[in-house]
Amino acid sequence: MKGNQDAMGQALYHCFQAGGDGVYSVIEREDGLVDVEATKVYFTQFHEWRPHEQEAMALVQGRVLDIGCGAGRHSLYLQEHGFDVLGIDPSPLALEVCRLRGLNQTALMSITQLSSGLGRFDTLLMMGNNFGLFASLRRARWLLKRFHGLTSPNARIIAQTLDPYQTALPEHLQYHEYNRRRGREGGQVRIRVRYRQYIGPWFDYLFVSKSELQELLQGTGWTATRFLDSEGPVYIAVLEEH
């Protein structure tokens, strides 16, 4: 990722320098919808997390790969509790923030660059809605099959997402239909991050309902053994090898 494209990394770095306040990024959807996000959420401590996120940490086992680690909030918590954690992210500045905050192991890469050269992991962590990094159902199936080369027997994937259909907002319902007309999944979104003068590249992000998740897992060698629900559409799926 070029420096002028690392909008999220810039926001994280400036938020770290500012002590966590006053930094906001813009999430822009391809249809023109924009949302403003407070960057300090990436620096929250365990006691500030929602109950389903806290519960998920109790299910982590063995060596951990944190996919899309951001500012390292989950990696740092697990490292402090004795886990061997590797945090990966495609943002150089995000990883710099992680290192400045004390994360011992980082690697600059995207989810599609993962390989067995990293060694074996017992837990793949995809928190912060990072199930979305799968981008599409087709790529999700491809990556889930590849993950067997990264994981030990009885490994777990702990992945957070949200059910995109739990909404009554017309701008989201219209976008679902727009997607379907183009042959895409209703819960796919094409977005980019903007911060100050920095503009990130467009990328696809995938949200799925529980039934869609169960369907896409077929033939991948992974099974959803547990769901951790929130009070809203966000949930965490615990996937295990079979």
Amino acid type, 86: L
Residues 6+ apart with CB under 8 A from 177: 186
Geometric angle at alpha carbon 125, from 121 and 126, rounded to 5°: 140
Structure confidence by residue, pLDDT tens digits, 39-62? 999 999 999 999 999 999 999 999
2 pLDDT band, cuts 50/70/90, is low
Give me the percent of the chain exceeding a pLDDT of 70: 99
Count the Cβ atoms, other than its own, within 10 Å of residue 33.
15
pLDDT confidence of residue 230: 96
Whether the CB-CB separation of 231 and 53 falls below 8 Å is answered with no
Summary mean pLDDT of the chain:
96
The answer on pLDDT for 231 being more than 90 is yes
1 pLDDT band, cuts 50/70/90, is low
Structure confidence by residue, pLDDT tens digits, 122-133? 999 999 999 999
CATH superfamily of 48-190+200-241: Vaccinia Virus protein VP39 (3.40.50.150)
Residues 6+ apart with CB under 8 A from 122: 61, 62, 63, 64, 151, 152, 154, 155, 156
Structure confidence by residue, pLDDT tens digits, 85-111? 999 999 999 999 999 999 999 999 999
d(CA 72, CA 93) in angstroms, rounded, equals 12
The answer on pLDDT for 3 being more than 70 is no
Domain ranges for the chain, please list them: 48-190+200-241
